[in-house]
Structure 1
Amino acid sequence: MVTLMGLLHFHLAGHQAIPLVGNATGMIGDPSGRSTERVALGRDTLAKNVAAIEKQLKRFFERGTQYAARRVVGLETEKLAKIEVARNADWYRDMNILGFLGTVGRYTRVGAMVARDSVKSRLASAQGISFTEFSYQLLQAYDFWYLYHHRNCRVQIGGSDQWGNITAGTELIHKMPRDDTDTGVVSGQATSHEAFGLTIPLLATASGEKFGKSAGNAIWLDERKTSPFDVYQFFVKTSDADVAKFLKMFTLLPLERIAQVMEEHGRAPEKFAAQKLLAEEVTELIHGEAGVLQAKCATQVLFGGRDQKIEQFSASEIADAFANDRRMVDLPRADAVGKQIAELAVLAGACSSKSQATRLARGGGLYWNNTAVPDGKWVPGSDQFIGEGTIGVLRTGKTSYFIIRLK
């Protein structure tokens, strides 16, 4: 997302942004930042992933532009260039190995390839590096070359771990002519062609913790994998040491507004004003204004009590807030109404048995709408279901929630 924010800034400044989906290179995998070889993807899996990524990219820039229109004074969104998602299989589909080696390979030096950090670290490892992954930098270099000549792309943006791959592309642009009529190229020498690489530092917290799948803290753009509520909760828990940096990286707020909220946060850090602003801004950027409303609804339903008026939300609002959320459990009304809380806990999958639920209740660890119940025999009345009498929030312990919806 950090790199996408960089590309969004270029887009909002009036440049043509070209997000690139590697439906060809995805079959190989980039060795950058890896200590082991990536698992090869099957064609069906790759096709499914590519379609999902392309959809997410288009939606990110669509919502990002809408978000910017509400933040950037004077932004004329109708004048911005249309986002053009590119797929690199479009230029590899008709290329064979002899053609690739006779063009790209001819203008590439093995010494430079081996010297790249991503390759050196793998060569020094016990596993080594396969020729497949070793050749990845040539493919990314050719991607840049192709987009430079066919789509007028002048700048490639990537994470700092992509520096070697990006510079391989600028070198290829300088050395390899488009065709015999390209008189600006002298084989093997620098040319007047201008191509640039821009890398963005990989995101890490003040404590040095990295973000991503391997770290177990990845934030997905797909709401089916990371809901608006989960995005909101992730950023609202940002540490004081990171919140100012994240406000600058992940929002389009003016620096004056960021300074203002940080000053407010410094006076009363227990109110988490900066974190709440960050969470709202990022959730709106990724999921739109509706996503913010869903996140706030889910937050109040899960963490609020009667004093916070969680009964204000309708059944449809709660259903939208927890769409695709495993915490939402549907129960037939006839099976749930009038039942003891211990029975509801078993039906919802919160407890394996009524005796377990009873023990939890007696120990103060069983909650209904965030209020502890006295024992397992307690029965929620009709007025104790929110969402027009159809929703109940069952909690076991401190963090295990089940949203019971009567059908």
Structure 2
Amino acid sequence: MASLGSSRISGRSSVVEFPRIRRSSFIKSSRIGFRVFASEAQQEPDLSITVNGLHMPNPFVIGSGPPGTNYTVMKRAFDEGWGAVIAKTVSLDAAKVVNVTPRYARLRAGANGSAKGQIIGWENIELISDRPLETMLKEFKQLKEEYPDRILIASIMEEYDKAAWEELIERVEETGVDAFEINFSCPHGMPERKMGAAVGQDCVLLEEVCGWINAKATIPVWAKMTPNITDISEPARVALTSGCEGIAAINTIMSVMGINLETLRPEPCVEGYSTPGGYSSKAVHPIALGKVMRIAQMMKSEFGDKDYSLSGIGGVESGGDAAEFILLGANTVQGPWVWLKGRRTGLHWCDDARVGVVKKTLRRDEGFHEKHNFSSLKISEGLALPYFTTHTDFGTEAARRDSTKKSDKQGCKSDKDWTEMLCKRDREHGVLTEIFHCIFGS
């Protein structure tokens, strides 16, 4: 049977009991739930959120990656007020993971290869955690013992092996983590072993693996989607129908950062060679918004009565960037803000990276909510989504009205008159009229 405990959390105006949910494999409802708690006594916007039964003080989540590498950085994230932390992806055998150096390359706003200018993009060829699983499990357990009321999510990945997935899930759950994020999205290295994006890009494979995972897991499961696919809503749909409670999107975009015009070698260059890697940071933000919008539309139209969750990822560097994902329907927003704000030595991110940036992010986001008189996060969620349509539908009437206005203004009463007027104007400016005849007919 599912067990139901509670975590006592102190709010700004009162003390509230929030449920900690577990379930047996045959009770699906205990893994699902989405509520936002707002106190009428609070004058400031309430950014607290409960996603799939997991209470967070705010929707800002440290995404899986270097900021979730070890106990020290995850502890600091909790201390600095992040809503949740997703640890760097783990698997059963870390000995198979070999992270090379250098493994990062950056794109600046100037010319390709420029050493100056604002950094707008990063490429990385870093793999999942190369630390022994036993070490990571020990640190997960220590974090949950020290922060029992904070949300720790384990990112996991395994090869195409049911027994391996089951063993990994069981061992990680024993540490007390609150949820799983399944890495179906790593674009480099791991797909060569039928891991990561190799699963996220194959809906048949994805359905089977999700079935294994959700039959074993007793805590919420988020499926992290790859953007390296034509229609991201298809694997997202499969993950939800196969038992996952949430979707996270997007992971990095497969890329080649550039060629060094001095050495004529690709970047990042490892002993003269490179490999395509994952593209991230500000430059991918519009792409991420488009992918999340597509998933949100699918979830609303096909699963509108279900309490599934959506976590937005991609180029988030400020509270405003995060707000855009929420306006599209995301419940939480992930981002390694510390990558840009933190101090970097050599090829490893320091443990003293300034995760305190979340405090500034919170203030900027609260300003957004106050400006629009949003008393809670729930009110702003998905507000922008209804304003997307298709080229076929949108503007049809507006285009007809504009055409009529222009025609009336020019004294044109028919399409033929309008075409002749355009051709006459182009002849006067020395432009070939054949273009218009090809478009509008003779």
Q: Same fold (TM over 0.5)?
A: no
- Normalising to structure 1: TM-score of the pair? 0.29
- Normalising to structure 2: TM-score of the pair? 0.28
More helix by share: 1
More strand by share: 2
Larger Cα Rg: Structure 1 or Structure 2?
1
